[in-house]
Chain A
Amino acid sequence: MIDGLPILSIMLAVPAAAAVACIFAGAAGARWIALLATLVDLVLGGMLWASFDMGPHAAQWQFVEYQPLFGRFAWAMGIDGFALMLILLSVFLMPICILASWKAIEKRVPEYMAAFLVTEILMIGTFAAQDLFLFYIFFEAGLIPMYLIIGIWGGVNRIYASYKFFLYTLLGSVLMLIAMLYMSATAGTTDIPTLMAYDFPAGVQTWLWLAFFASFAVKMPMWPVHTWLPDAHVQAPTAGSVILAGVLLKLGGYGFLRFSLPMFPEASAEWMWLVFALSAVAVVYTSLVALVQSDMKKLIAYSSVAHMAIVTFGLFAFNAQGIEGAMMVMLGHGLVSGALFLCVGVIYDRLHTREIDRYGGLAINMPKYAVLFMLFTMASVGLPGTSNFIGEFLALAGIYQVSTWFALIATTGIILGAAYMLYLYRRVVFGDLTKEDVKAMPDLDGRELVSLGAIAAVVLWMGVYPESFLKPMRPDVTRLIERIERAKPAGDSQPTPGNPEAAKAAHGGEEHGSGHAAPAESHGEAH
């Protein structure tokens, strides 16, 4: 345990210093500085995880720092299990992003690396902020580096995409600011943990919830405000897509988890139908849209919208499985979609096209690539043994308790997901190797192998032993459920406890992780 060390602030200071250093360095120097800084942050993230107290009497908020700044703003940092996991996701993906840009980015490298490092600061800051307005500043400032990354280093139609990204998300967020101003005036505090326990009147909650929803729904993104995402993804450079899909989309889910649910439980229950309806449309509609895409990045972008819909379903299921599942889908999707964008980037770097039809038969000349791509495709589909299976299964189990019909619709997303992902894989990797330029493509080099291999290892880890990732979050899930229990809507499914004795015998009492929460929960429900 590293007592007294402001480790979160250090995690922000390292990339900040490196970003300044990058500006003054040459191209090669900037690459190494950025890689080194992100690796240092990865190590710091590991220390954070290792020293995070997961014991039964652990404090909810750990690594707390508090320093009044100016006016009503305070440098209040601290993390719980949710924030820890998302910070880990960020610091894990960052070095991979830097590696992915190693050769692909040739112009204005120092500025590019600085922009990425600033993005890292703002992502970690958003997850760690414990002050309402500090959160907003990090949340909103993240638009600037991403706008520049898409606009400067993006594809042909990058300017349209960068505008759309910026203005969409800005419009969503400003209403949230008004809601935050109201909350701080009414509750008299900007401390997020205090606000999470503050009861706003139900009538007020509705409006506050809607204001926050406007922001998080755009970030998430939920149908029908998702349209900035395919544009931004397609135009952004590979590493930009990885960060967008991997981390920035999680800000929406994190927002629901941190603000909407605990601060406005009644309004969350009241508007559950809206979230479910939008998510249901998103699951089916965006999956079908993904099926007909001819651009690889666009296909993965639409699949992201569908996966995020499962997250919103799970979050608003008001039970432990739903919320744990949503978190696991967020983590799993962050890894898998990031990896898929990297896979696209690998072949894009060689042939400079994202058209699916231009490829085919890669299994013959790029076997290593084909294997890794296969793994991530299967993970995206939700094959057992991979990260996404855990999350999707838990989330669907949670939804089922609330609404069997919506569970049915959500499950079609898994089926459609299998359809578009396998169809993509077949067209790109299988078939005959007929095209001359495709034949000439070399297999993965060391740098690409390391990046993809690292993600593959974690994807499998998360699929085989999810307890490592669920354990830090479980106390927080319990607290959240206690908080929102009073507003919980009645479900239409009537889960019965079954025969716990028999079940225990069948499993030999060796249940862990996802296994044990389910019977306990349904038990409670039946009585």
Chain B
Amino acid sequence: MDYNAQLLMSLPELVLGAGGILLMLVAAWGGQASTRAVSLAAVAVLIGAGIALGGPASSGGEAFDGLYRADMFAAFAKALVYVAAGVSILIAPGFFQRTSGDDLRPEYPVLILFSAAGMGLMVSAGDLITLYVGLELQSLAAYVLASFMRRDARSAEAGLKYFVLGALASGILLYGISLVYGFSGTTLYAGIADAYAQGSSTGLLFGLVFVFAGLAFKISAVPFHMWTPDVYEGAPTPVTAFFASAPKVAAMAMAVRVAMEAMGPAVEQWRQIVVFAALASIILGSVAAIGQSNIKRLLAYSSIANVGFALIGLVAGSEAGVASVLFYMAVYIVMTLGSFLIVLQMRGADGQQVETIDSLAGMSRTRPGLALALAVFMFSLAGVPPFLGFFAKFAVFDAAVGAKLYLLAAVGIAASVIGAYYYLRVVKTMYFDEPAPAFEGRAGLVEGSLIFASAVVISFGMLLLPWLSGWTTAAAHSLF
């Protein structure tokens, strides 16, 4: 295949990479004053990359001798990543303006662009080395983003924690990759699959366990979830919103591709690991969230539980299962971004951000619209019909039942009731309790319309189901 065609397949990453480098130069020379321009340009770059997805990037071909896949699956995941990254850029200026620490610096959108490029490589990887390079590109940008408020101790702590634990996880993953390479003789997914298909040796099995442990860290599935609440709490809220959405989707898509393409023949081996991770994530994410008083920590545990639900779709290991994972993640990022957008509106009398759940008390009377939107997100996260979150849970459990995993489905859905308790607690605080002092200020035009849009999607998104399920099915089909 000629080289130009191969480059065209990776056009989204090229756009992001070139745009990122260019904007970094602008930021270096333009300084603080260029923040607004760089932010808008970064969003434009993301949109450009999104448009590029429509071309050869989703044609289903392979580039660079199988190192890079340009299929529908990758394209769907990238589209979600770009949306989440764009929202994270748009909501940042207001937040940094209000917090007394640093103003937003133009490096912020640039880092997000690099991170998005890394995520694109992660989901497109057809080789373990491509995967690792993409993962590190994404992670390095993320470590810096976590400590973006340099003078804030919590933010610095979050960055450090994320870095140390992330490096550990990368090490575990790399160790697994080296084992797999050593026993299969290749890092290409197709070759690894052949090696597993010929029967699993102890070395390959160990490699599989380590690779999955590394992946579990990246999607913050139990028992590798410990970093999540601390990092989510400490990082600046727009960054937390970013962490909870884009890298989650990318890591989940990456895990799905590794599980299905590289280790598909070893499904019986990894299924046990994923079943445990799924149920443990759901149960621990739900139980540990009950005691939280900080809304960001609560949402962190909620993200752990949600990853558990998405993993149930992966356990099914079928085409419907993969489609359900993608659908679940798509719905999940809308709910999560919406919730974090509302967290951004929680400001005390002096304009400072507040994060306690108690400060939401009586919000249904002081800010009825905002309260309604958050209630919609909470009921949707709890999986109560008719909201879109119910349909996402429906899809993963349907896939599990289709794969005859009845016990897993029954236990998983019963555990979701525990989760409903703490989501309800937020609704109760907003609707049943006596009003606390109202939050200061109104949502800006951008934030307000984003909240409105996500609430509308969650409430009436089921009307989009024919299209959504068409896309997710096409995306899942490209893995089989």
Contact = CB atoms under 8 A, between A and B. Distances in A.
Nearest to B469: A71
Interface in B404-443: 406, 409-410, 413-414, 416-417, 420-421, 424, 427-428, 431-432
Interface stretch (B4-12, B270-278, B378-386): B378-386
Contact of A182 (B406, B427, B463, B464): B406
Contacts of A182: 401, 406
A170 B421 CA distance: 10
A113 B402 CA distance: 42
Given A70-B462, A71-B469, A178-B409, A136 B385 contact: yes
Contact of A181 (B379, B397, B421): B397
A105 interface: no
Contacts of B420: 166-167, 170
Nearest to A136: B385
A181 B428 contact: no
Contacts of B394: 133, 177, 181
Contacts of B390: 137, 140
Contacts of A69: 462, 465
B401 A181 contact: yes
Residue among A137, A141, A163, A177 with most chain B CB within 10 A: A177
A152 B401 CA distance: 38
A486 B427 CA distance: 49
A159 interface: yes
Interface in A170-202: 170-171, 174-175, 177-178, 181-182, 185
B398 interface: yes
Interface residues on A, range: 20 to 34
A162 B386 CA distance: 20
A171 B417 contact: yes
Nearest to B409: A178
Contacts of B463: 70
Contacts of B462: 69-70, 73
B231 to A, nearest CB: 30
A69 B432 CA distance: 35
A143 B379 CA distance: 11
A181 B409 contact: yes
A178 B410 contact: yes
A70 B465 contact: yes
A151 B431 CA distance: 8
B432 A174 contact: no
Contacts of B428: 151, 159, 162-163
B385 A140 contact: yes
Contact of A71 (B402, B406, B432, B465): B465
A250 interface: no
A141 B465 contact: no
A177 B413 contact: yes
Nearest to B383: A174
A137 B385 contact: yes
Interface string A53-78: 00000000000000001110100000
Contact of B431 (A73, A152, A167, A185): A152
A304 to B, nearest CB: 24
A140 B391 CA distance: 13
A162 B432 contact: yes
A207 B432 CA distance: 39
Interface in A148-176: 148, 151-152, 158-159, 162-163, 166-167, 170-171, 174-175
B466 interface: yes
Contacts of A70: 462-466, 469
A147 interface: yes
Contacts of A170: 384, 417, 420
A175 B409 CA distance: 9
Contacts of A277: none
B415 to A, nearest CB: 9
A174 B418 CA distance: 12
A524 to B, nearest CB: 40
B432 A137 contact: no
Contact of A178 (B397, B465, B469): B397
A317 to B, nearest CB: 30
A152 B414 contact: no
A408 interface: no
A124 B465 CA distance: 25
Contacts of A166: 420, 424
B424 A141 contact: no
A144 interface: yes
B262 to A, nearest CB: 29
Nearest to A176: B413
A141 B386 contact: yes
B423 to A, nearest CB: 10
A171 B421 CA distance: 11
Interface in B203-250: none
B413 A151 contact: no
Interface string A310-330: 000000000000000000000
Contact of B384 (A71, A143, A148, A162): A143
Given A158-B432, A181-B401, A185-B401, A147 B410 contact: no
A163 B382 CA distance: 14
A71 B390 CA distance: 14
Contacts of B385: 136-137, 140-141
A181 B405 CA distance: 12
Given A137-B385, A143-B384, A171-B417, A177 B397 contact: yes
Nearest to A150: B432
A162 B413 CA distance: 21
A302 B424 CA distance: 27
B431 A175 contact: no
B413 A175 contact: yes
Residue among A70, A175, A178 with most chain B CB within 10 A: A178
Nearest to B402: A185
B384 A140 contact: yes
Contacts of B402: 181, 185
Given A71-B469, A141-B384, A141-B386, A181 B417 contact: no
Contacts of A151: 428, 431-432
Interface in A106-132: 108
Interface in B387-403: 390-391, 394, 397-398, 401-402
Residue among B385, B402, B421, B469 with most chain A CB within 10 A: B385
A174 B466 contact: no
A185 B413 CA distance: 18
Nearest to A148: B431
Contacts of A207: 406
A137 B410 contact: no
Contacts of A141: 384-386
Interface in B3-44: none
Residue among A144, A163, A175, A207 with most chain B CB within 10 A: A144
Nearest to B429: A159
A175 B413 CA distance: 7
Contacts of B431: 148, 151-152
Contacts of B427: 147
Contacts of B421: 163, 167
B413 A178 contact: yes
Contacts of B386: 137, 141
Contacts of B416: 174
Contacts of A137: 385-386, 390
A147 B465 contact: no
A70 B432 CA distance: 35
27 contacts: A70-B464, A70-B469, A71-B391, A73-B462, A133-B394, A136-B385, A137-B385, A137-B386, A140-B384, A140-B390, A141-B384, A147-B424, A148-B431, A151-B428, A152-B431, A158-B432, A163-B428, A167-B420, A170-B417, A171-B414, A175-B410, A175-B413, A177-B397, A178-B401, A178-B409, A181-B398, A211-B410
3 closest residue pairs by CB, A with B: A70-B465, A137-B385, A181-B401
Given A70-B464, A140-B390, A170-B420, 11 more contacts: A108-B365, A136-B385, A143-B384, A152-B431, A163-B421, A163-B424, A174-B414, A177-B413, A181-B397, A185-B401, A211-B410
